[in-house]
């Protein structure tokens, strides 16, 4: 089962299998008590339409894979294997690009702009908790993969590539530069 198909497994259904049910249900989402920490009021939201979760108490969220990782305290591969067993299907996990050279062949840089659209600024500030003052080091990178155009916040690395992030994607436009450890004295 490919990772994207695993992400289609219902979070609501998975929680129900664990004996966890919403405290309140609304049109398109449910509010739960957190399945991995103690709380008295429901602050754990499952969006049924997007099949995503958000814990307002810890400011975390994500796909069903992220949830299983959090609940079981395991790696992403262990979570995928656990979910694969639930689906009764063989697991076939594919990376987006097996190698940097293949990535460069499939991913094309369209343009880089020095400003960030408002929704990307909001993503930085609210979801990543990065101060807007640091946005002077960031760009909006437009790229295409298999003919489809995407864009993300880009941070240029020392090799000339970009680390890319948005609410739906975490990746790199090659060449890849591993981050350096900065030690404060």
Cβ neighbors of 110 (< 8 A, separation 6 or more) are: 142, 143, 144, 149
| 17 and 76 Cβ atoms separated by less than 8 Å | no
Cβ neighbors of 145 (< 8 A, separation 6 or more) are: 106, 107, 108
- Secondary structure class of 24 (helix, strand, coil): strand
Tokens linked to 22: 């919403």
Please report the pLDDT score of residue 3 as a whole number. Answer: 53
Q: Mind giving me the DSSP string for 146-174?
A: TTEEEEEEEEE-TTS-EEEEETTEEEEES
Please report the pLDDT score of residue 136 as a whole number. Answer: 86
Domain 3-87 sits in CATH at 3.90.580.10
Cβ neighbors of 51 (< 8 A, separation 6 or more) are: 7, 8, 10, 11, 63, 64
Please report the pLDDT score of residue 87 as a whole number. Answer: 56
| 179 DSSP 8-state letter | P
User: From the first residue on, what is the mean pLDDT of each consecutive set of 10 residues in the chain (185 residues)?
Assistant: 69 90 92 94 94 94 94 91 64 41 66 88 85 86 84 86 84 70 51
C-alpha distances out from residue 60 to 66, 106, 112, 120, Å: 9, 31, 29, 18
Please report the pLDDT score of residue 95 as a whole number. Answer: 39
Please report the pLDDT score of residue 184 as a whole number. Answer: 54
Alpha-carbon gap, residue 151 to 144, rounded angstroms: 8
Cβ neighbors of 13 (< 8 A, separation 6 or more) are: none
Please report the pLDDT score of residue 102 as a whole number. Answer: 46
* Domains of the chain, residue spans: 3-87, 100-173
Model confidence, pTM: 0.47
């Amino acid at each position: 089962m490919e990772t994207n198909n695993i992400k289609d497994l219902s979070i609501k259904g998975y929680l129900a299998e664990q004996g966890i049910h919403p405290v309140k249900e609304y049109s398109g989402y449910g509010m739960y008590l957190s399945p991995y920490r103690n709380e008295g009021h429901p602050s754990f939201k499952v969006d049924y339409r997007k099949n995503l979760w958000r814990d307002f108490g810890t400011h975390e969220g994500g796909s069903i894979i992220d949830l299983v990782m959090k609940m079981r305290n395991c790696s992403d591969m262990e979570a995928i294997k656990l979910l694969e067993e639930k689906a009764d299907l063989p697991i076939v996990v594919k990376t987006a690009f097996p190698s940097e050279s293949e990535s460069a062949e499939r991913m094309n840089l369209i343009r880089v702009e020095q400003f960030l659209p408002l929704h990307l600024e909001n993503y930085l500030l609210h979801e990543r908790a990065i101060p807007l003052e640091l946005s002077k080091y960031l760009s909006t990178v437009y790229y295409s993969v298999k003919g489809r155009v995407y864009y993300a916040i880009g941070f240029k690395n020392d090799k000339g590539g970009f680390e890319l992030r948005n609410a739906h994607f975490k990746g790199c436009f090659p060449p890849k530069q591993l981050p350096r450890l900065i030690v404060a004295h």
